[in-house]
Chain A
Amino acid sequence: MTLLVGSITIGLILALLALGIFISFRIFDFPDITAEGSFTFGAALSAALIVSGANPITATAVAFVGGFAAGAATGLIHTRFKINPLLSGILVMTALYSVNLHVMGKSNVPLLSQRTLFTWFESFSETVSGKDTLVNLIGWSVPAKDLWTLFFCLLIIVFFGLLLLWYFRTNIGTAMRATGDNDQMIRALGVNTKVMIIFGVALSNGFIALAGSMLAQFQGFADVQMGIGMMVWGLASVIIGEALIRDNSLGFVIAGAVIGAVLFRLLVAIALRWGMNPNDLKLITAAFVFLALVLPGFMKKTKKVKLIRTK
């Protein structure tokens, strides 16, 4: 049960990553691989700041700003110098690898004895529920602090989900969605699509860096490798969400991304518990996303064939 609560918590943290991927992939149709660098960048910035004694909230906020800047760089390279989206992302991601090493000073920064957002959650739990309390949850006993942590993560993700939902309904947010949907149209309505793309990719990476920062604080270390495969991970979450919730309205899509992120994390946890080799994780994730991308089209084809046959 502790494992389950922990998995859901990580799932909720990675839901921020899913929201970021949702912005770049679904809103803008921009395959943004900067994610892999900005995820680590967020973790690195927070870790370095926390180790040097900064307030965890400041450290987390700086992570968001850092990711935002990295995304803006990708957007700028793409719009200003007309470099293809994928390559723009690869350039920034590669550059960030060095930046991250510089920020952390080494390839791994432990945070175990530091004050982080999560030690705050734990001390909150201690004052409210007492030290080392176990809560009976449908027959399992779970440490109260884990449940409080889960609750705070849920609050955070709900807050950011609603924020995003609100933002994409405002005038500027609607213009941003239109940029991804039909850029010719929105340009003809007087919107600078380049600025929209830069800002959108920046926002996306801000969310991703936030996820990296929170994950580092949760697991107690930042590692220069932790961003690898994160883009596909986020994409898998978004795809699961879309498959589960077949409604295209914005609120549902955002909720779907969050639910997808949690479910995907659970699936992975279960698979690992059943004895899947952790080394195979990324291979299987990639295969999963491949299937998810290919299957809908394949199923349509077979359906058509069936229709023809019955005729």
Chain B
Amino acid sequence: MLVLSNLNKTFNAGTINEVNALQEVSLTIEEGSFICVLGTNGSGKSTLLNAVAGTFYTDSGTIELNGKDITRWPEYKRACHVGRVFQNPFSGTAPNMTIGENLALAAKRGKKRGLGWGLTSTVLQELKSRVKTLNMGLEERLDSPIGKLSGGQRQALTLLMSSWVKPELLLLDEHTAALDPKTASKVIELTEKIVTAGKLTTLMVTHSMQQAVHLGDRIIMMHQGKIKYDFRGEEKRRLKIADLLSLFDDLRRKDQIDAGVVELLMKNYV
């Protein structure tokens, strides 16, 4: 279970470029739940994910993962419990190392890395059988450098790597945004398979409403650093893409008028 309480993050504080990326964000994600985070550009959805991953520290608020207060933990320490897939397919793998070596690195996530041989034959055997489940024929190419693979293949491998050791939380940061539509849908299929099979607690940032509607059991919509909508259960299941679009339009229209005016109008008409 992930509990975020009153997270605040301001970038470039005190300058013209000041951005309140997160404002009093509180969120509880139950064990085994799969949440999609939607939002316009600059809404703070990626910031939220990075705050949880530990890319930076938040200005205030606390982050608790399964009872551990990880608010001040550095990124690498959180990574022992958190699996991550990045937007950029090149970010999640080491290009000049072989597929096998990359996977073997992932198999050691959160465990002690000592002077034991990395790619033993038992490890290799396990790698092969797990890579086979991807149905990409990569199990025969464990010796070739990962940099030679396509973005989609690399992203599929990153997904496999992030969930190799069952993470307490899986963070997906628009992980299909840089892929072509066909590859993207394949990676999404794989995501669903892996998350369901492992009953993984998942936080997925996406800008695809289709993905949000079809995947997971909860949708959160962010705007200007705040959580504006939170749909779950039956409400989430009934949600259509059109509904989400109209909500976005609402948010956009509200942007165009002054915040004070919005309050006044809301009081009088809603």
Contacts and interface: CB of A to CB of B under 8 A. Distances in A.
A173 B115 CA distance: 8
Nearest to A172: B113
Interface string A73-102: 000000000000000000000000000000
Interface in B82-103: 84, 86, 90-97, 101-102
Contacts of A184: 86, 91
Contacts of B32: none
A170 interface: yes
B125 to A, nearest CB: 17
B122 to A, nearest CB: 14
Given A171-B114, A172-B113, A174-B105, A190 B94 contact: no
Contact of A182 (B91, B118, B162): B91
Q: How large is the interface on A (under 10, 10 to 19, 20 to 34, 35 or more residues)?
A: 20 to 34
A169 interface: yes
Contact of B115 (A171, A182, A248): A171
Interface string A180-196: 01101111111111000
A192 B115 contact: no
B76 A187 contact: yes
Contact of A186 (B74, B86, B105): B105
Interface string B96-134: 110001101110111001111111000000000000000
A178 interface: yes
A185 B113 contact: no
A171 to B, nearest CB: 4
Given A181-B97, A182-B93, A188-B162, 12 more contacts: A169-B117, A169-B119, A170-B115, A170-B118, A172-B113, A174-B118, A175-B113, A177-B101, A181-B95, A184-B91, A190-B108, A192-B77
6 contacts: A171-B113, A177-B94, A177-B101, A185-B93, A188-B162, A189-B109
Interface of B: 53, 74-77, 79-80, 84, 86, 90-97, 101-102, 104-106, 108-110, 113-119, 145, 161-162
Interface of A: 167, 169-175, 177-178, 181-182, 184-193, 248
